[in-house]
Amino acid sequence: MTRLVLVTNDDGYDAPGIHALIEAVQPLGQLVVVAPDREQSAASHAITLDRPLRVYRADEGRYRINGTPSDCVHLGITHFTGGRLPDLVVSGINRGLNVGDDVTYSGTVAGAFEGTLLNVPSIAFSAEIDNEGRSDFSRAGGLVRSIAQRVLGHGLQRGVLLNVNFPAGDYRGIRVTRQGTRSYRATAFEREDPSGRPYYWIAGMDMTPTGEPDGDHLAIREGFVSITPLQVNLTHEPSLEDLSRWDLEAG
């Protein structure tokens, strides 16, 4: 049976990254593309509950939605794959890395989270922006395809997704990594609007890369493609016992 692959992103349907992703996974099976109609970067795992979602069919098996990446994957799986669970969800290729703390904000990674929650093996792909402000998506294509192919063949453990990041410049190899810790210092600018009232603009520009030897940041900084297995369940196991000893009922 032909494999069914659901494709989404957070940079929007017209972004070059998703077209590179489509091209890369096209040979793997039948594609259904469901993507936001505009940029949804940093949408995280939001789903839309308070307004109707509209779907614009762009082509055979291609849909654009006025919603988030998670909306796209959710609607894709429930309505646009002909009642069949896809064999794979791929999200990206994002313009810009999703490493360290980016992961919790990322709409690209959330698209893969949503696929995982709905029991479909899922992968998020992101590419670093180089010094000229460009992301070279085409170069990632071969590895995108081979990683996707491997996941199609082997599957992933339940509740686990892959977060893949491509460095700018030549690839020195592939490294399996952990999600790094904080990468941005809290930054927000205060300005004044024309009527003299202050407004604020959050911009996480101030990157402080962390140097965990097996972390995603370091792999990218050293020119390696980074593959991080992430889990949907966020429970911190070691704290369970600690907390149960707090004796909270005693007041």
Q: What is the spatial distance between Cα 59 and Cα 146, in angstroms, rounded to a whole number? A: 26
Q: Minimum distance between the CB of residue 11 and Mn ion, rounded to whole angstroms?
A: 4
Q: Minimum distance between the CB of residue 241 and Mn ion, rounded to whole angstroms?
A: 39
Q: Tokens at residue 213, please?
A: 């030897």
Quote the DSSP letter at residue 231: E
Quote the DSSP letter at residue 79: H
Q: Minimum distance between the CB of residue 41 and Mn ion, rounded to whole angstroms?
A: 3
Q: Is 125 or 224 the residue whose CB approaches Mn ion more closely?
A: 125
Q: What is the spatial distance between Cα 168 and Cα 135, in angstroms, rounded to a whole number? A: 7
Q: What is the spatial distance between Cα 241 and Cα 245, in angstroms, rounded to a whole number? A: 7
Residue 36 main-chain phi, psi, to 5 deg: -65, 150
Q: Is 28 or 220 the residue whose CB approaches Mn ion more closely?
A: 220
Q: Which residue is nearest to Mn ion (CB)?
A: 41
Rg for the chain (alpha carbons), in Å? 19
Q: Is 10 or 87 the residue whose CB approaches Mn ion more closely?
A: 10
Q: Is 97 or 120 the residue whose CB approaches Mn ion more closely?
A: 97
DSSP reduced 3-state for 170: coil
Q: Minimum distance between the CB of residue 29 and Mn ion, rounded to whole angstroms?
A: 25
- Residues binding Mn ion (CB under 5 A): 10-11, 41, 94
Strands 88-95 and 160-166, sheet pairing: unpaired
Q: Minimum distance between the CB of residue 211 and Mn ion, rounded to whole angstroms?
A: 25
Q: What angle do CA 58, 71, 65 make, to 5 degrees?
A: 25
Q: Is 94 or 177 the residue whose CB approaches Mn ion more closely?
A: 94
Q: Is 28 or 69 the residue whose CB approaches Mn ion more closely?
A: 69
Q: Minimum distance between the CB of residue 97 and Mn ion, rounded to whole angstroms?
A: 10
Q: What is the spatial distance between Cα 105 and Cα 103, in angstroms, rounded to a whole number? A: 6
